Amino acid sequence: MEVTASSRHYVDRLFDPDPQKVLLGVIDMKNAVIGNNKQKANLIVLGAVPRLLYLLQQDSSGAELRTECAVVLGSLAMGTENNVKSLVDCHIIPALLQGLLSQDLKFIEACLRCLRTVFISTVTPVQLLYTDAAVIPHLMSLLSRSRRTQEYICQIFSHCCKTPDHQMILYNHGAIQNIAHLLISFSYKVQMQALKCFSVLAYENPQVSMTLVNVLVDGELLSQVFVRMMQRDKPIEMQLTAAKCLTYMCRAGAIRTDDNCIVLKTLPCLVRMCSKERLLEERVDGAETLAYLIEPDVELQRIASITDHLIAMLADYFKYPSSVSAITDIKRLDHDLKHAHELRQAAFKLYASLGANDEDIRKKIIETENMMDRIVSGLSESSIKVRLAAVRCLHSLSRSVQQLRTSFQDHAVWKPLMKLLQNAPEEVLVMASSTLCNLLLEFSPSKEPILESGAIDLLCSLTQSESPALRVNGIWALMNMAFQAEQKIKMDILRALSTEQLFRLLSDPDVNVLMKTLGLLRNLLSTRPHIDQIMSSHGKQIMQAVTLILEGEHNIEVKEQTLCILANIADGTTAKDLIMINDDILQKIKYYMGHSNVKLQLAATFCISNLIWNEEEGSQERQDRLREMGFVDILHKLTQSADPSLCDRAKTAMQQYLA
């Protein structure tokens, strides 16, 4: 109560009829709130904000009073998130933006500084900067007024540019031309904020990045300015942000991955950021940016993996901060203990990128001390970001046949993976189910225990997901599971999936889902006893589905896969009859034998070949029936095909008639 009472007289003075006393009251208030969060909260509760905003907006207040009001509001915004929320709710942003129309530079700077403080808070909706279309061009025009306006405006832009739309608004209002020359400002703060602007403008934006490549700053190419900013004698923040700019331009396709500025400058600079000497946030930023840079390019992955012992250097990310840590600053230690999980996340991400393509790099990563144990514990960490990064890392390493057979088995990674799949956000589920697909390949020893732990039901439930990526992974994993599997597993899959769901997936709008479902069907229908058994129980529906797909508007791959399924059915002992009694299907096979696409001709010819094979019961009747339908004439024509495989397959089929 006392504090509130002592705060009240500050607010009361704002209502004094004497403008001079009001000014002194605001100045006293400014001195009272600096660094005092409790005092800030009290003044907000007591209603100081609406009054300060009122005074700020009155021309009669005079320049000095208006400026001091903006300074106090800026100080209140420096407090807690709740303070910022209260200010935004009082419509501080439109009031400050209105203030920018003033002619008084000191007042403009105070308004910009306060806006900057409000916008860098995570609770402020950035959209408020774009509500009035006149604001961005006006801010651009204020860039030339002073170093302070340059610093604050660039900082506002870099914090409020969150979407491709925001990037294009700034780009279309001349952000590049207006900000480029600030990179060679005499003020370090201005240079840094301009640099940050370019990094957010270029991120995943080909149009901006392509423009940046050709920009000259004082006669020098922009990319060369960035290279100069990455020199070792420059402040770390500058090196790192310049490296981000070049990374984003490279990923957006504006700079080649083999360009010297990437290979000899950006990549080594980012590796330097991962060293023990750097602060925690620099190491996190460096590793995450490097992971993004090298993600799609195997050559950069190879170069990074042999730069400065990077793979071993990343192992330190898991040991930090250790009991013998060199941190003497208690505040720093406390901060780092709270954020150590970010290091683990960054290391997993970078390992995932490093190991994306190259078998030798994967081997090196897995041989790094306790690596598999670290991934296994990462999969069950409380931080969702760490879990996602750990599963990305595991997915990357699971592309290795060698590792699936050894390390993955030794550490039973399938256990935490299955647990993760029970309930996780979609992003994690997509990665985890992709990894599971690899663990279910036929040469992986994890396949058996995964099956025993109830994977079939889990995967069948994924195929019913709203998300196409999850449907694809669920069906893909089942397809891998069914490959060369014993009859019992195949029947379990069919039972758990249900024929209704199987046929729903065969009419899925997503072509990847359709392809994997056909792959599953093809794997289920392999080896004769299995083909006959499945076709005796589900033959009618399967033939219906095949007919629908061959009649539908589907691409060549889908139709080829469907014809391969028919060829498998034609290889069954009793299943064959389902094709032979189906005139419609036989006419379709005939049509595809004469198709313009060789792949489809091959698959269709294979069907016929299986139907007329000599050594099998009833082959004579089938041969006669198909001869009557004109198949022999087509085969004869195909023996003259320019395609050697098609020609051979047709000749092999013809020989059945001659034998």
197-232 pLDDT, tens digit each? 999 999 999 999 999 999 999 999 999 999 999 999
Beta strands in 282-336 (DSSP E): none
Q: Which of 34, 42, 32 is nearest to 75 (CA)?
A: 34
Predicted confidence at residue 406, as pLDDT, reads 74
SS3 content of the chain, % helix, strand, coil (to 5): 75, 0, 25
8 A C-beta contact, residue 545 and residue 569: no
Average pLDDT value for residue range 237-262? 98
How far is the CA of 120 from the CAs of 115, 269, 594, 630, in angstroms? 9, 27, 66, 76
Locate tokens 């801010």: which residue? 139
Average pLDDT value for residue range 437-447? 80
Q: Is the peptide bond before 644 cis (omega within 30 degrees of 0)?
A: no
According to DSSP, residue 104 is labeled -
Paired with 217 in beta bridges are: 220
Average pLDDT value for residue range 57-71? 94
Q: From the CB of residue 500, how many other CB atoms can be counted at a distance below 10 Å?
A: 9
8 A C-beta contact, residue 90 and residue 49: yes
Burial class (CB in 10 A: 0-12, 13-18, 19+), 101: exposed
Is residue 461 over pLDDT 80?
yes
Rounded to whole angstroms, how far apart are CA atoms 619 and 616? Answer: 6
8 A C-beta contact, residue 119 and residue 152: no
Per-residue pLDDT tens for 587-598? 999 999 999 999
Rounded to whole angstroms, how far apart are CA atoms 170 and 126? Answer: 13
Is residue 3 over pLDDT 70?
no
Predicted confidence at residue 456, as pLDDT, reads 92
Predicted confidence at residue 358, as pLDDT, reads 94
Average pLDDT value for residue range 416-422? 87
Per-residue pLDDT tens for 144-182? 999 999 999 999 999 999 999 999 999 999 999 999 999
Rounded to whole angstroms, how far apart are CA atoms 258 and 256? Answer: 5
Predicted confidence at residue 322, as pLDDT, reads 62
Rounded to whole angstroms, how far apart are CA atoms 115 and 484? Answer: 65
Average pLDDT in the chain: 92
CA angle 295, 465, 560 (to 5 degrees): 75
Average pLDDT value for residue range 343-369? 94
Rounded to whole angstroms, how far apart are CA atoms 611 and 167? Answer: 61
8 A C-beta contact, residue 480 and residue 437: yes
Rounded to whole angstroms, how far apart are CA atoms 413 and 398? Answer: 10
Rounded to whole angstroms, how far apart are CA atoms 335 and 331? Answer: 6
Per-residue pLDDT tens for 97-124? 999 999 999 999 999 999 999 999 999 9
CA angle 435, 436, 441 (to 5 degrees): 105
Q: From the CB of residue 28, how many other CB atoms can be counted at a distance below 10 Å?
A: 13
Task: Name the percent of the chain lying above pLDDT 70.
Answer: 98
Q: What is the pTM (predicted TM-score) of this model?
A: 0.84
| Residue 221, helix vs strand vs coil | strand
| Residue 217, helix vs strand vs coil | strand
Of the candidate ranges 212-221, 393-402, 463-472, 553-562, the one whose mean pLDDT is the lowest? 393-402
Locate tokens 């250790």: which residue? 322
Predicted confidence at residue 404, as pLDDT, reads 72
Taking the CA atoms of residue 213, residue 219, residue 224 and residue 229 in that order, the dihedral angle to the nearest 10 degrees is -120
Rounded to whole angstroms, how far apart are CA atoms 51 and 198? Answer: 38
Is residue 534 over pLDDT 60?
yes
Does residue 249 or residue 487 have the better pLDDT?
249
Rounded to whole angstroms, how far apart are CA atoms 654 and 658? Answer: 7
Paired with 220 in beta bridges are: 217
Rounded to whole angstroms, how far apart are CA atoms 592 and 379? Answer: 49
Q: Could you tell me the maximum CA-CA distance found in the chain, to the nearest angstrom?
A: 117
Is residue 2 over pLDDT 70?
no
Predicted confidence at residue 326, as pLDDT, reads 60
